[in-house]
Chains A and B, each alone.
Chain A
Amino acid sequence: MLPDTVHKLPLEERTAWAKVLAFVSKVDGEVDIGEMALFESRMGTALFPPKTRERARQWLKNPPSLREAIDGLGREGARLAMRDAVLMTAADGEVDDNERKLLDLLAEELNIDFEVVDDLLDWVVDGFEWMQDGYRLLKKIE
C-alpha cells in the first residue's frame, strides 16, 4: 500500500518479475499459506489481467527455471525482482543459509552486487520496525 512502480512495467516484464517471485517462493519445496498470501498480494500490486493471474498461480505450483524467469527482465524489472525476492524471503523475520544462497545466486544472475542484497536485508528490518510503530500508534490492537 505504498507507492511503487511494479504495475507500470510492461506486461511482459511484470510476468517475468512474477516468475522470479514464484521461483523464490517455491525453492524450499512447499509453499505455506503465508507465502501464498504474500505472492497473491504482489500479484494484486502488479494489476495483472485475470488470465495472467491464473497462470501466475500455476507458476507457484510448477515454477519456471530461474533462467526462464529472468530472461524477460529489463533493468528496472530485474531490480524490482531482486528487491521483492529479498522482501519475500525476509518478511518472516529470518533468512537462513539456503535463502541467503538463493538471494546471492539471484543477484549474480541479475548482475547486482551482493552489497545491495545486504543493504536490502537491512532495509527489510527497517520496514518491519515501521510496521511495529504503526501498531503502537493504533493503540489496543491485537
Chain B
Amino acid sequence: MLFPDISDQLDADERGAYVTLLVLAAAVDGRLKSEELAALESVMGRMLMHPDVRAKQRMLLESPPDIKEVLGATTDRVRRLALRDTLLVCAIDGEYSEEEIHLIRALAERCGLDDDELAKLFDWVTEGWYWMTTGRELCGIPMLGDMELIKQIKESLQRGD
C-alpha cells in the first residue's frame, strides 16, 4: 500500500499469512504477470520481510498452499485485508480471470460479505485505478489505456452509475 495501512500493525505470523494469501492470488490462474510480481514485491517490502522469508514466499508461486489451510489458521483482520488486496492484485493486469473471481468469492464468503458488498469493493478498486491514473495524468506521463479509462469513468460519473 502507498499509505500507512492496518497491515502495518500485523504481527509476524499474520504478515506471513497475509502475504501467502496474496501469493495465492497472483498464482491462481497460472499466469504470473510482471505487474503482479511488482505488487507482491511491494507488499513484502512494506512488511520489511527478511530476504530469506521473501525467497520462501516467492517459492510458493510455484507450489501454492491450500487456501483453506491458510484461511483457517489466521485472523479475521488478515482475511479482510487479504480480500481487499487480492482484488487489487488480481485486477492489476487489467482483467479478472475466472480462477481469480472464484478465489475472490471464496474469500468474500469467508469474510461474510454478500454480493452487494463485494460489488462495492470491486467499484472501490476501479476508483483506485482512476486515482492512480490521475496521478500519472497530473505528471504528464499517461500509460497505455489511461486516457480511455479516464474517459470511461468520467462518462460513468456523469450518468450517475
Residues of A that sit less than 8 Å from B by CB: 1-8, 33-34, 36-38, 40-47, 50, 75-76, 79-80, 82-83, 87, 91-92, 112, 116, 119-120, 123, 126-128, 130-131, 133-135, 137-142
Contact = CB atoms under 8 A, between A and B. Distances in A.
Contact of A91 (B2, B39, B40, B117): B2
A35 to B, nearest CB: 11
Contacts, number: 144
B143 interface: yes
B150 interface: no
A138 B41 contact: no
B96 interface: no
Interface of B: 1-6, 8, 34-35, 37-48, 51, 76-77, 80-81, 83-85, 88-89, 92, 94, 111-113, 117, 120-121, 124, 127-129, 131-132, 134-136, 138-141, 143
Given A40-B48, A47-B34, A130-B128, A2 B8 contact: no
27 contacts: A1-B39, A1-B43, A3-B35, A3-B94, A3-B129, A3-B143, A5-B136, A6-B38, A37-B47, A38-B2, A38-B46, A41-B43, A43-B45, A44-B45, A45-B38, A45-B45, A47-B41, A50-B51, A80-B139, A83-B138, A87-B2, A134-B84, A137-B84, A139-B80, A139-B113, A141-B77, A142-B6
B135 A142 contact: no
A40 B45 contact: yes
Contacts of A50: 51
B139 A116 contact: yes
Contacts of B121: 134, 137-138
B57 to A, nearest CB: 12
Considering residues A2, A82, A133, A140, which has the most beta carbons from chain B within 10 angstroms of its beta carbon? A2
B89 to A, nearest CB: 6
